[in-house]
Structure 1
Amino acid sequence: MNNDQSQSIEISVEQAKLLGSAQRVKIIKTLVDTAKTSKQVADELGESPGSIHYHIQKLYEGGLIDLVETRTVGGIVEKYYKSKAKWFNSHGKQLMDPILADDYEAATSTKMSLRMQLSLEQREEMEADFKALLEKWVEISIATKGESTQEYAIGIKVISAEAPK
């Protein structure tokens, strides 16, 4: 298992598809720092244990979370899961989330882009800022239990304007 949870790990496009759900992103977030059972995650997210168990099984089968401990308490087997990383990265031409494709027709969409000149250190700082911003909003989405919400896909792509050597 990856010990530095702040680092991203490479995943396949198939694994990336498992993260095409806001619910699963919230589950990953709850399992980054502490191993938890499906019931503990469900309680934290204010969701049904059955639904959370289903999503945790998919994430586990997909290799994005690890089963780190099994305890038997009063004849009940408790399985504790932990995320392999906080961030996941997938290479290739296929988008990690098909909703982010330019031709996806959505009820609402905002597209922002610009170019800037940055040093390597500045680019790394900006990427860290983007990660912190996204983490902040995942936390906010976890805290908005029971409110009327809509799922959104957010993608940030920082790419060099230079061709590869």
Structure 2
Amino acid sequence: MAEIVDHLEVSSAAQFKALGHPLRHRLLFALGQEAATISQLAAALGTAKGNVAHHLGVLRDAGMVHVAETRQVRGGTEQYYRRSVRRFGFTGEGARANNTVALQAVAADLETAEGDPLFTVRNLRLTAAQAEELATTLSELVDGLTDAGPDEARYGVAISVYRPRQPHH
């Protein structure tokens, strides 16, 4: 069984290319806590098995997922995929483009989310110090959460504090 790396700083063109499609992000989200088959992932994400297989192959080639186990089933072998990395960080020029793709993936997840997801976008005036404090507080809050285990539902959490381009007066 392949070892799971705690953190990967995504910085190479090949790594960013592997993350260049929203479905690949959604696959990584879905594999965040447990292994799954192509069929399970296709059903959960509402897409074709061939589509999932293709994108898993790209992620596997980039070292971001691996086959965690195999099981013999009627006339074949079932492969269970798992993430190879617990947390991804993004640096370099590709980080902004990755944000766009990741947000497309989050939007797709929100469209099919169960229940009534919380999603708030708000613009307000802050000092640089207030913005930094907010970003630190939110990051610490999310980083401090402990996984409740495989019997509990999976939730997505997306946080961002950003300064939009300012109009010129």
Decide: shared fold, TM above 0.5. yes
Distance 2:157 2:89 in 1: 19
1:35-50 pair list within 5 angstroms: 35-50=35-50
Tell me by how many angstroms 1:73 deviates: 1.1
Tell me by how many angstroms 1:58 deviates: 0.8
1:9-158 pair list within 5 angstroms: 9-11=8-10, 12-95=12-95, 97=97, 115-117=127-129, 123-128=135-140, 135-136=156-157
Q: Across the two proteins, how many residue pairs are aligned to each other?
A: 128
SS at structure 2 position matched to 1:77:
strand
Distance 2:136 2:99 in 1: 26
Aligned AA (1:9): L
Superposition RMSD in Å: 3.7
Q: 1:29 to 1:99 in 2, by over 3 A?
A: closer
Structure 1 gap ranges (5+): 101-109, 138-153, 159-165
Distance 2:14 2:162 in 1: 20
Distance 1:20 1:121 in 2: 31
SS at structure 1 position matched to 2:137:
helix
Tell me by how many angstroms 1:92 deviates: 2.9
Structure 2 gap ranges (5+): 101-120, 146-154, 164-169
Aligned AA (1:135): G
Aligned AA (1:61): D
Q: 1:16 to 1:94 in 2, by over 3 A?
A: closer
Tell me by how many angstroms 1:88 deviates: 1.4
Aligned to 1:140: none
Distance 1:125 1:26 in 2: 26
TM-score (norm 1): 0.59
Contact 1:32/1:84 (CA < 8 Å) preserved in 2? no
Moved more, 71-80 or 85-94: 85-94
Tell me by how many angstroms 1:32 deviates: 1.1
SS at structure 2 position matched to 1:10:
strand
Distance 1:53 1:41 in 2: 9
Q: 1:62 to 1:69 in 2, by over 3 A?
A: same
Tell me by how many angstroms 1:23 deviates: 1.1
TM-score (norm 2): 0.58
SS at structure 1 position matched to 2:128:
coil
Distance 1:9 1:34 in 2: 18
Tell me by how many angstroms 1:157 deviates: 6.5
